Every structure is written in C-alpha cells, then in structure tokens.
C-alpha cells in the first residue's frame, strides 16, 4: 500500500463515502425535524375558546353594538391575563388601572410656595 496511486484512490473513496454518509445523516435529521414542525403547526392551528373569541373580535367595529360589547369583555380578559392580574369573586380585576387612575395622587412631596417656571420662548 505504499504505492501513491493506491493511497490516492483509497483517500478519494473514503472522502466520497464520508461525504455521502454526511449527506444522508443531514437528510434524515432534517426530515425528522420537518415532521416535528408539521406536528407543531397542526396542533397550533386549534385555538382555544379565548383565542377564537380574539380572532372573531378582530373584525368587529364599534357600530356593531352587541358584538362590540362582548368583544370589549374579551379584550379586558386578554389584558388581565397578559398583565397577570388576579380577579376577585365578582370577576373584576383586583388593583386594575382604572381604579388606580381614580385614586387621588399624593401631592405632599411636591415643593410648596415656588412660582411656576415660565414657558420656554415666552417674553417673561
């Protein structure tokens, strides 16, 4: 096997067979992953009831009063889930932003007795 032609032929054969084995391995791996992706896509196409309501509400306009009111409830529930807010026994969210907005702001930390700053560019 010390003949250079034989060594060259063996190395070419090993390279060809190795390349073919790598191509087959990649093809099988990709085919396996494609099956998993297809399975995920098929299971992802089945929306939950809440997701189905959200999909339905995409096309609702404010002129469709009954559907719009039900969609407002669906959207509020979606916001509550997204923000991770808890609900009380009545179904309203605890510590909702609407309640927080209605509470009076504590202004005790604001400095007292200072004059308002003039607007930028005014003649004062």
What DSSP assignment string belongs to 8-25? Answer: HHHHHHHHHHHHHHHHHH
Q: At residue 102, does pLDDT exceed 60? A: no
pLDDT at position 115 is: 61
Q: What pLDDT shows up at residue 103?
A: 65
Binned at pLDDT 50, 70 and 90, residue 42 comes out as low
Residue 72 pLDDT greater than 70, yes or no: yes
SS (HEC) of 90-105: CCCECCCHHHHHHCCC
Q: What is the pLDDT averaged over residues 102-121?
A: 67
CA dist 65 and 50 (Å) reads 20
Instruction: Write down the residue that tokens 């196409």 correspond to.
Output: 45
Q: How many percent of the chain have pLDDT more than 90?
A: 19
Q: Which residues of 98-116 are buried (b: 16+ CB within 10 A; e: fewer)?
A: eeeeeeeeeeeeeeeeeee
Give the residue among 122, 51, 45, 40 at the shortest CA–CA distance from 81.
51
pLDDT value of position 59: 87
Q: How confident is the model at residue 52 (pLDDT cuts 50, 70, 90)?
A: confident
Angle at 123 between CA 122 and CA 124, to 5 degrees: 95
Which of 39-48, 49-58, 91-100 shows the lowest mean pLDDT across its residues? 91-100
Q: Which residues contact 55 (CB under 8 A, 6 or more apart)?
A: 47
């Amino acid at each position: 096997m010390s003949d250079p032609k034989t060594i060259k032929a063996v190395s070419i054969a090993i390279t060809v067979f190795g390349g073919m084995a790598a191509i087959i391995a990649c093809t099988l791996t990709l085919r396996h992953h494609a099956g998993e992706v297809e399975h995920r896509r098929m299971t992802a196409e089945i929306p939950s009831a809440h997701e189905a309501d959200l999909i339905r509400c995409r096309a609702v306009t404010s002129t469709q009063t009954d559907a719009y009111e039900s969609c407002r409830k669906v959207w509020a529930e979606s916001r509550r889930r997204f923000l991770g807010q808890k609900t009380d026994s009545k179904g309203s969210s605890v510590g909702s932003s609407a309640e927080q907005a209605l509470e009076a702001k504590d202004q005790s930390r604001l400095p007292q007795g200072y004059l308002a700053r003039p607007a930028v560019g005014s003649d004062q």
